[in-house]
Each structure stands twice: as C-alpha cells, then as structure tokens.
Structure 1
Amino acid sequence: MGEGLVHSLESMGLVDGPGVRSVVFLQGCALRCRYCHNPDTWARENGRAERYTPRRLVERLARFRPYYGQEGGVTFSGGEPLLQPDFLAQCLELCHQAGIRTCLDTAGCGLGDYGAILAHTDLILLDVKHYTPEGWQQVTGGSMEPFRQFLAAAQAAEVPLWVRHVVVPGLTDGEAHLAGLEAYLKTIRHIQRVELLPYHTLGVHKYAALGIPYPLAGVPPLAGDALADWNERLNRTCCEKSEERL
C-alpha cells in the first residue's frame, strides 16, 4: 500500500457528519476559496503533514470505534481528500472492513475515476461553492467542471448527500442568491440535509502567519441566526423524504 499525507486528525468531532466522528484532514487543495479558513492545507507537500499507510491510519482510527455508536464513524476531509484518490479509496475500504461507517467531506474537485471511492462511502458532505460557473470561479478561482463530474458520479452511485454552502456577505448572500441555490438543489437527488454555514473569520490569523493576503479583509462575520429561515426552507423544499437517516 502507498502512503498518504495527513494534515491533522480530530478524534472526537461532532459537526462533520452524524454522531461522534474521527475526522481525517488530508493535505492538499487545488481551490483557493476566498473565505478558506485552512490555507495551511493547500500545498500538496507540507513539512508538517504526516505520512501514513492506509492500514496504519485505519488501525489508529479503529481505536475510537467504541465511541462511534450507531451513527458515528470516520470523515475524510481536507484540504481536498479527492486529490489523494488511491490512498483515500484504500482507507475507505479498510474502514468498511473494520465495520466503521464512512463520510467524505469534499468540494468534488479531484482527479477523476471515483468508482472505488464511492463504493465505500456511506455519506458525502458536499460543499457547493456556487451554483453557476461564473459564481464558482469568483469564489474558488477554478472551474466548476470537476465538481460537476464528481456530482454526476455520486448521483449514479446513489450516495446520500448533506449539502453545505457558505454564505458570505456580498458574495453568496441575499434573497436572490439563495433562491437560485434552492432552484439548483432541487435538480439534485439523494439530498438528506442542507446546511447553510455563516461566514466567519476564525482562520484569518493563519494568512498572516503564512504571509498571504486575506482576500476578504474587512468583510464582517455573519450571525448564524440570520440563516435560520433559509435553512428551514431549504431543508423543507430540497431534501428527499426518507425513513432512514444516516
């Protein structure tokens, strides 16, 4: 088995999927989102990242299995986990062999062939940066096409989705924007939950430490309660009704 680069591990996460979860942050991301709070995960090679074989990583994660219960498990995040596809696929398969439920936190911008990854993914936390190519480019600096390709593969594999969308004042906020998001999400199947995430500035200090200008300097954080009505609306209109919830 080859090795992968792991930026960091969180042993008892509560916000990256259902239940209690271990979160694996993989190193590397091709996007440059204007509101990114983890610029230290961008570089593919990072001296602080730790190398793991899939087996060694999953053996470490299995120690926390008693805490996962019926809903919890392991979430692979980043950076962008799809940029280490072979390592990710092997880790997901080993998790399933160990009886651990899996979740993928992704913006869908990886390297192509996703069959082996999706075959062992129980849930996708899908980060929808924007719903138009122009908006996507404005937010991320990249093309929307890789996201579309990943979403098509996920839809074909019928993997359940929790959709996430960061709401930034002056960039991805306002009634017109959120109504457009609603219309777009209605075209996607297997959505179980929508989470509108308020823009925050908790990662700004990392830019200063790395000597990188912060793209949204001066933009104030958004209060979480400002999104309550839209969160309720999108979960009512865009989610499939199901007796089973992951």
Structure 2
Amino acid sequence: MFTSVSSSVPMRGDRGRIHSVETCGTVDGPGIRFVIFTQGCRLRCLYCHNPDTRDPNQGQEVTVDDLLAEIQTYRSYMTYSGGGVTISGGEPLLQPEFVHELIRRCRAIGIHTALDTSGYPDFERSKPALDDVDLVLLDIKSFNPQIYQTVTHVPIEPTLRVAHYLNDIQKPTWVRFVLVPGLTDGIQNMEQLAAFVAQLTCVEKVEILPFHQMGSYKWRQLGYAYALKDTATPTQSEVQQAVEIFQAHGLTVQ
C-alpha cells in the first residue's frame, strides 16, 4: 500500500512510523474518517486495545506524500459525511513534526483533521500540531492521580498540562473517558474529572467509552499478561450513572 522507506534514513517531518490505517472509521471524530494509527506509546494502559503499537521501532515508515495519496482516494466519503483524517495511535505526539506536517498538508487541501492523544507528548515540540489541528480528542484516563498511574503507569500531570493549553488556545476538544468497572468508575473519581472538564470552555463534549475485551487477544498473541481478563463490560445502568455525573456539571455527553 505504501512505499517502503529505509529505517536507516533519519526521521524528518515529511515521514514517520505508523502501525496501520483504517479507511472508513466512524468513531474517531465527526463523519467518515481516514484513521492513521501511529507507532509508539509511552503509556502502558491496562486496557489498551492496541498494545502492538507500543514499540516505536516497529510498524512501517511512510512519507506524508504516501499517506496523502491514499487519503485522496477516500476524499469523496469524507466530504459527503463531514468527516476527515484522524491521527491516532499509539501516541501521535511522539512524532510531533511528522504529525504536524500531515495536519498542515491535509488542511491545505481542505480536509478536516483530528488528533487522538493521551496528552503525554514532548510538550514544546507538540505545540505546532496542537495549534494547527482542527479537533483534539483528549483521552483522560482518570482524574485521581493514583488511579491514573495504576491505569497508565505514567503520571497525570502532562495530560492536565495539555488540557490547560488546549483551553488557553480555545482548541475544539472532545474529552474521552474509558469507564472500567472496579478501576475508573469510582463516583469521586468521575465527579472530580467532570468538575475539571467543566472548567475547560474548549470542550465540546465528553465521550464515555465502556471498557470491553475486544483487544485482549492481542495481549495473548504478544505474550503480555492481561490484568483485566476477568473485568466485565459496564452495564447500561453503570454507563448511565457516569453519563449523569458528567451531565450534572453542564457537560454534553455521548
């Protein structure tokens, strides 16, 4: 699908390393979207459904030109549905120059761009991408620092710093929260997260994503121990309780 690029070539803004693409995604931003899953992530989320994107040295190297050529073939679907391109991962902002160039080139030809990030980047290097993207999907795994550390194995502060920056520049943002029974679903945790998000005037809505086991087979294939193998998907009433907590703080919830 893509032209191979030698791994001996130093990475520049016109090329990066990706895991895969999804040509007609419908859950990562508005409309039908061309979703690019970048390679590499510093988080080790207990429920990660893409653990095969962790290693920054795996995947395939591609150029921005490669991706744009593929994106253009799906442009009619994106245009008709009000969609665009979403850069996900992994963590896209581990490759901020590549991501920024891709955003810049897409916007130059009128394609809407979205960035799905955990907010755990090299902050200063990531600012140009955050400044220029049309929409940020910001994953906040928890608000309680201890729970956040348990879920991700990294501290929460970088994510909160990005959230504040997005608010400072008034970047349209959707906050994403994964509801995991027995882990992130504590009432106090959700209340505190809802109160924090309600202060961010850039947030257009909150997406509550029920935990699922759909990615667990990848953990087995990779030989990783999967700590949540016995965790159930939240019930409809548990999801509704979470929705009502966020709505009580004046937030639009999906």
Give the TM-score of the pair, scaled to structure 2. Answer: 0.87
Q: Which residue of 2 aligns with 1:36?
A: 48
The one-letter code sitting in structure 2 at the alignment partner of 1:73 is G
Q: How many residues align?
A: 238
Matching of residues 156-235 of structure 1 within 5 Å: 156-224=168-236, 226-231=238-243, 234-235=246-247
* 8 Å CA contact 2:135, 2:172 repeated in 1: yes
User: Structure 2 residue aligned with 1:88, among 99, 107, 129?
Assistant: 99
User: Structure 2 residue aligned with 1:62, among 65, 72, 75?
Assistant: 72
> How many angstroms does 1:149 deviate by?
2.5
Q: Which residue of 1 aligns with 2:108?
A: 97
Classify the secondary structure of the residue corresponding to 1:237. coil
- With over 3 angstroms needed to count, the CA separation of the structure-2 counterparts of 1:229 and 1:43, relative to structure 1, is same
Counterparts of 1:148 and 1:175, CA distance in 2: 20
Classify the secondary structure of the residue corresponding to 2:22. strand
Q: Which residue of 1 aligns with 2:123?
A: 112
CA RMSD, 1 decimal: 1.8
* 8 Å CA contact 1:118, 1:157 repeated in 2: no
Counterparts of 2:208 and 2:41, CA distance in 1: 22
* 8 Å CA contact 2:39, 2:91 repeated in 1: yes
Q: Which residue of 1 aligns with 2:148?
A: 136
Counterparts of 2:39 and 2:183, CA distance in 1: 27
% same residue:
38
The one-letter code sitting in structure 2 at the alignment partner of 1:194 is V
1:7 has 2:19 as partner: yes
Counterparts of 2:18 and 2:249, CA distance in 1: 37
Q: Which residue of 1 aligns with 2:83?
A: 72
Counterparts of 2:102 and 2:237, CA distance in 1: 37
> How many angstroms does 1:195 deviate by?
1.1
* 8 Å CA contact 1:161, 1:191 repeated in 2: yes
Classify the secondary structure of the residue corresponding to 2:201. coil
Classify the secondary structure of the residue corresponding to 2:194. helix
Counterparts of 2:24 and 2:236, CA distance in 1: 23
Structure 1 gaps, min length 5: 241-246
> How many angstroms does 1:225 deviate by?
5.5
* 8 Å CA contact 2:195, 2:249 repeated in 1: no
Counterparts of 1:52 and 1:36, CA distance in 2: 24
* 8 Å CA contact 1:81, 1:106 repeated in 2: yes
Q: Which residue of 2 aligns with 1:243?
A: none
Counterparts of 1:189 and 1:75, CA distance in 2: 22
Deviates more, 1:12-21 or 1:66-75: 66-75
Counterparts of 1:128 and 1:38, CA distance in 2: 17
> How many angstroms does 1:228 deviate by?
2.7
Classify the secondary structure of the residue corresponding to 2:154. coil
Structure 2 gaps, min length 5: 1-12
* 8 Å CA contact 2:45, 2:152 repeated in 1: yes
Q: Which residue of 2 aligns with 1:126?
A: 138
Counterparts of 2:250 and 2:95, CA distance in 1: 31
Counterparts of 1:214 and 1:199, CA distance in 2: 14
1:23 has 2:23 as partner: no
The one-letter code sitting in structure 1 at the alignment partner of 2:180 is V
Classify the secondary structure of the residue corresponding to 1:17. coil
* 8 Å CA contact 2:213, 2:229 repeated in 1: no
